[in-house]
Amino acid sequence: MTNATPQRRLEPDGTPVDVFALPTDAQSLEALLRDLFENHWREIVFGPIIQGAAFEIHVDHAPTRIGLLDGYLTIAFGQTHFHVCIGETKGPRSRPTPPVLAQHRRTARAELHRRFSGTCVPMSWSLQLFNGADEQQLAVLLPNPFLHPETEKILREPDWSRLTLWDALRARWLGLVEPDPLDRAAH
């Protein structure tokens, strides 16, 4: 577990977010990502979200393979797959990875994010990973109580049960066993 007190930051567009720091060791990140992709693949949307591009990937089946090799966690859905460097990477013996490049590639920051609306209530929840150069590696968007799970259309009434995964992640990784009333403050 890490510090359960969030740090309030402003996104480049001025939107406030609460950031809960998570451990960045390979064992913790592999356990976290395995849990999300093996047990919650139906619920999550994932991909990098950077200025000018958002990859919101939904999958229609569980991963066919998850494995760790040379610091890279590979998550495969048949032929479609992705790699994220979460641990020490050395490269092949014939062409070792320079230490500065290995440090750039590896996850240096892992965070649970709670993004706020203009009315100062939470509106989205996610996991975000950043490499050693502070570039986003991966965003995992968690179920949103304001959006229909299949159509992503805005619901008339929030479905607070869709915060179950957020609450479970807070409990496991931050030791916060009680749901935060702030997460359910919007009307």
- Amino acid identity of residue 157, one-letter, is E
Q: Using pLDDT thresholds of 50, 70 and 90, give the confidence band for residue 1.
A: low
Structural contact between residues 67 and 74, judged by C-beta atoms closer than 8 angstroms: yes
Structure tokens at 103: 């440090």
pLDDT 10s digits, 108-143: 999 999 999 877 889 999 999 999 999 999 999 999
139: left (phi over 0), alpha (psi -120 to 50) or beta: beta
Instruction: Name the residue ranges covered by the structural domains of the chain.
Output: 7-176
Query: Whats the size of the chain, residue-wise?
Result: 187
Question: Of 38-47, 62-71, 145-154, which range is least confident?
Answer: 145-154
In this model, does residue 164 exceed pLDDT 90? yes
Residue 69 CA to residue 165 CA, distance in Å, equals 28
* Residue range 165-184: mean pLDDT, rounded: 96
pLDDT at 160: 96
Structure tokens at 14: 């001025």
* Residue range 45-53: mean pLDDT, rounded: 94
Element (H, E) at 59: none
Q: Using pLDDT thresholds of 50, 70 and 90, give the confidence band for residue 186.
A: confident
The strand pairing partners of 154, in sequence order, are 147
Strand 16-22, strand 7-10: pairing: antiparallel
Q: Find out if CATH 3.20.20.70 is the number for domain 7-176.
A: no
Which pTM does this prediction carry?
Answer: 0.94
How many Cβ atoms are within 10 Å of 15's Cβ, its own excluded?
14
Instruction: Quote the percentage of the chain above a pLDDT of 90.
Output: 88
pLDDT at 137: 98
pLDDT 10s digits, 61-107: 999 999 999 999 999 999 999 999 999 999 999 999 999 999 999 99
pLDDT at 4: 84
* Residue range 32-49: mean pLDDT, rounded: 97
